[in-house]
Amino acid sequence: MKARVCFGLFLLLAFSSTCLGGWLENTLENAGKSLGNRAVNDAGNSAYDATKRGVKEGVKGIPTDDKSSSQNKSSSSRSSRQESEGTVSVSSLSIEEAETVFSKFDFIPGDKTIFFDDFADTDVGEFPRKWHLSGPKGSNNVSIEVVEYQGRHFMRTNPATKGQRQFESTQYLRLNQKGDLPEKFTIEFDACLSHAFASNTKFPNTYFLLLLNNDKVWPGVIGKQSGKLRLSGLESSSLNTGTSLNLQDEKVHHISVSVNGSFVKAYIDNVRVINDPDAFKRPIRLVGLTMANVATKPTDKLMITNFRLAEGGKDIRTALETDGRIITHGIQFDTGRDSLKPESLPTLRKILSLLNDDPDLRFSIEGHTDSQGNRGINQPLSERRAAAVKEWLVWKGIDPSRLSVEGYGDSKPIDSNKTPEGRANNRRVEFVKL
């Protein structure tokens, strides 16, 4: 009898625990869906993580739990397969795995965001409000609208009628900037590298980044021309260069472009696909994007999101000498979490180089967030992110006594939190000389 009672109690406790865990996960997921707000998702992710693992004081370790280990092993096998094809999906790697794969990746985002659009402010089905069609050959042949895909908003060129060629769409950024863009700037966006068919031939989704000094002449989609960067999973090119890939996997990949004068470098994930010292002419008065796929079997995945244009900042050594602090936007994390993303490596390596070159240099690593979410979540999140940076530097051989950690949440903004651009500028990691 006692054995039966004990067994019954065991089943009751197990069932209750399962229900409670499922209730928490479902509640957080439904809250995020019903409110449709990134801040809620950030809060839910952080709260759910804290519930599962508890809050730890001090420097947080790079995740080593069984689940993370399993994911790392899985992503290792994925990265091995993808590396043979010339690129590795950024999202498939941990920061440790990225050390080798990203050995030649040197892109560092600009410091000051000039334009940012993740299309969150545009309703699904509407034309994106921060873009316009008044440049040369602004698209009016196809329907451009915001769609939801994998939980995010994208700007998409809608499919053509079956059997008809899918015409390209061209749209331009609404910029308040007058005259030339800064001498140094960067552009980043996420794009779906899908493909479509015509007569059993694959045609890749192709994205033409337009950096034009003339608002009357459209460079078209055929041939290499000044001011046009062709970016796709099959072929990428500028006025004087070209690179081939084999990447049409129906997934979203990160595209990054660095400009210094007329010199341009472009990357798809970790692979440099353009390296052209004379890609276009200054001044650059107009920035646009053409999305194209010429297949007669249309694709519904010709789309982009997270478009960021940012001014290049001071060299970090100059910033350290003149300001006593380094403000970085290149150290990036998953939304609502403190795990370093592989794209952070170029910036982290710069900081590591400074510390290695000067054994007396000491830093306070300070994490900052925007104002989305509440301060009870933002402050500890910013501190854990700063701690993750410290841990990486210690892992690379820096004495931990040279590094301290602070988290300020949204309490020290450097820009307005009322605009997407301002919020992007406020999300940062600073290194303050001690």
Query: What pLDDT is attached to residue 95?
Result: 67
| Residue 35: domain span | 14-47
Neighbouring C-beta atoms of residue 140, cutoff 10 Å: 11
Last residue of a domain, one of 290, 311, 332: 311
Q: Which of 311, 346, 376 is the last residue of a domain?
A: 311
Q: Does 389 fall in a domain?
A: yes
Least confident of 3-12, 242-251, 253-262: 3-12
CA distance 112 to 27: 37
**Considering 279, 311, 343, which residue would you say is the last residue of a domain?**
311
- The reply to whether 8 falls in a domain is no
Residues 296 and 332 in one domain: no
Residue 93 lies in a domain: no
The long-range contacts involving 154-158, CB below 8 angstroms and separated by at least 24 positions, are 154/119, 154/192, 154/303, 154/304, 154/305, 155/117, 155/119, 155/128, 155/131, 155/303, 155/304, 155/305, 156/300, 156/301, 156/302, 156/303, 157/291, 157/292, 157/293, 157/302, 157/303, 158/300
pLDDT higher than 80, residue 294? no
What is the per-residue pLDDT for 202?
72
| Separation CA 415–CA 39 (nearest Å) | 18
Whether 121 and 244 map to the same domain: the answer is yes
Do 289 and 372 belong to one domain? no
Structure confidence at residue 48 (pLDDT) = 32
Q: Identify the CATH number of the domain in which residue 323 sits.
A: 3.30.1330.60
Q: So what's the pLDDT on residue 62?
A: 34
Mean pLDDT of the chain: 78
CATH code assigned at 267: 2.60.120.560
- Is the pLDDT at 337 greater than 80? The verdict is yes
Same-domain status, 129 and 218: yes
98 falls within a domain: no
Give this prediction's pTM.
0.73
Is residue 367 domain-shared with residue 353, that is, in the same domain? yes
Q: Is residue 304 part of a domain?
A: yes
State whether 291 and 328 are in the same domain: no
pLDDT at residue 190 above 80?
yes
| pLDDT at position 27 | 36
Q: What is the pLDDT of residue 63?
A: 33
Looking at the structure, tell me whether residues 29 and 125 fall in a common domain: no
Whether residues 189 and 246 share a domain: the answer is: yes
Indicate if 267 and 336 belong to the same structural domain: no
At 347 the pLDDT is 93
**Rounded mean pLDDT, 265-290:** 92
Q: Which of 90 and 263 is assigned the larger pLDDT?
A: 263
pLDDT at 70 over 70: no
Tally of domains in the chain: 3
